C-alpha cells in the first residue's frame, strides 16, 4: 500500500477532526475543518483510502503545507 500525505492549503487552527485512525474514507470526504480568518475551510481526501495517522489535534495551529493526515491508498 502507498501512503499519501494530506497537507493544509492555508494557515489557521484545527477546528474539528472528522475522522479517526482506521477509518475508510472516500474521495472528497471532509477529514478536518480548519478555521482561518473566521472562515471554515475543509481538508478533503484527494482519493479513497484508510486513515493511517492524524498528525494534529483539535485547536492546534497549522501552517500552509503542513501534513495533517496520512492515508494508505
Domains and CATH numbers, the chain: 3-72 (2.40.50.100)
pTM of the model: 0.95
**18/6 Cα distance (integer angstroms):** 14
Cell of 34: 480548519
**3/33 Cα distance (integer angstroms):** 21
Under 8 Å between Cβ of 21 and 8? no
Interval 17-72: pLDDT, tens: 999 999 999 999 999 999 999 999 999 999 999 999 999 999 999 999 999 999 99
Under 8 Å between Cβ of 21 and 72? no
**26/41 Cα distance (integer angstroms):** 18
Amino acid at each position: 500500500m502507498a501512503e499519501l500525505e494530506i497537507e493544509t492549503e492555508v494557515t489557521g487552527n484545527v477546528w474539528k477532526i472528522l475522522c479517526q485512525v482506521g477509518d475508510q474514507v472516500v474521495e472528497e470526504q471532509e477529514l478536518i475543518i480548519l478555521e482561518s480568518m473566521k472562515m471554515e475551510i475543509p481538508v478533503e481526501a484527494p482519493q479513497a483510502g484508510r486513515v493511517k495517522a492524524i498528525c494534529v489535534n483539535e485547536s492546534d495551529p497549522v501552517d500552509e503545507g503542513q501534513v495533517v493526515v496520512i492515508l494508505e491508498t
